[in-house]
Structure 1
Amino acid sequence: MTVVYDPDGRLDAELGLPLDRDPHMRLVRAAISWTSSTTLQPRDGDQIALQLTGHARVVAAEVRRRCADLPSDAEPRVLAEAVLEEADRRLAQPRLGTLRCVQMRARQVRALYERLDRLDKVTPVRAQ
């Protein structure tokens, strides 16, 4: 699993960072399945939130890159831009290391991948 520390969102998809989707989606599914009775140590929660934040930023950069190939009024682009705006807003919030924070970031990663999958259906995938 590639862990990305990019709290300010300065990394760009052009750097060639792999999305490493499978292990991150396993973490997303696990985090979303946790309940209020799940004991999450603050340090663990902060590390998980940090990992999900970095990964969300990399996926968001890829979504932005794919959107650039679409006309500005194309429905897939408009929907992707709405998801990106929400991601930017949520990822700018401070990491608290709480269960709620971790789950919010996990849901954001999931939403970004869902949008990326939809863009894959309308945009040719560039050679990497």
Structure 2
Amino acid sequence: MSDTHTVLHDPNGLIEADLPLDRAPHEALVTAVLAWKDPDLAPRDYEQIALQLTGHARAVAADVHRLAAALPKSDGRGALTEVILREANGRLAAPLQGTACCAQDRARLVQALYTRLDRLTEPAPAAT
């Protein structure tokens, strides 16, 4: 019996671009994590939650980046999006810690990225 597998090379993330985000369960997780007052979880549990939120934040950030790149240069939403994405990249580069604070920071990041994603999917504001 032999194991076979195919190695997928997708440096531009085009395969992921066609997959919809699994938004509802992650938004529920964000809501729950941000509602914590004095949680008493083991550090490994905080790490797992932060890891889950980190992976989802990266997926949302990729969608935000893709939408921003498609905006016309005259659309002001692009400049703000670049600032938000730079901040997100910096926060995602920070090492995970087994703390409630770390998990809540990642939850706030997912929340901010979804806010930006929603703004990018709205019709462009009319020029005055």
The TM tier, using the shorter chain, reads 0.7 to 0.9
Unaligned segments of structure 2, at least 5 residues? 1-10
Deviation of 1:73 (Å): 4.8
Deviation of 1:38 (Å): 1.3
In 2, the alpha carbon distance for the partners of 1:107 and 1:72 equals 28
* SS of residue in 2 equivalent to 1:122: coil
- Kindly provide the amino acid, as one letter, of the partner of residue 66 in structure 1: L
- Kindly provide the amino acid, as one letter, of the partner of residue 78 in structure 1: A
* SS of residue in 1 equivalent to 2:72: coil
In 2, the alpha carbon distance for the partners of 1:33 and 1:114 equals 18
* Count of residues in correspondence between the two structures: 113
Q: CA RMSD in A?
A: 1.8
String of CA shifts for 1:47-85, please: whole Å, max 9, x gaps. Answer: 000000000000000000000111335211111111111
Match in the other structure for 2:63: 62
Deviation of 1:17 (Å): 3.6
Contact 1:13 1:65 in 2 (8 A): no
Contact 1:28 1:106 in 2 (8 A): yes
Give the TM-score taking structure 2 as reference length: 0.81
Unaligned segments of structure 1, at least 5 residues? 1-9, 124-128
Match in the other structure for 1:76: 77
* Pairing partner for 1:24 from 23, 26, 39: 26
String of CA shifts for 1:99-120, please: whole Å, max 9, x gaps. Answer: 0000000000000000000000
Give the TM-score taking structure 1 as reference length: 0.81
In 1, the alpha carbon distance for the partners of 2:14 and 2:31 equals 24
String of CA shifts for 1:12-69, please: whole Å, max 9, x gaps. Answer: 364234310000000001001112x211211110100000000000000000000011
* SS of residue in 2 equivalent to 1:85: helix
- Kindly provide the amino acid, as one letter, of the partner of residue 13 in structure 2: D
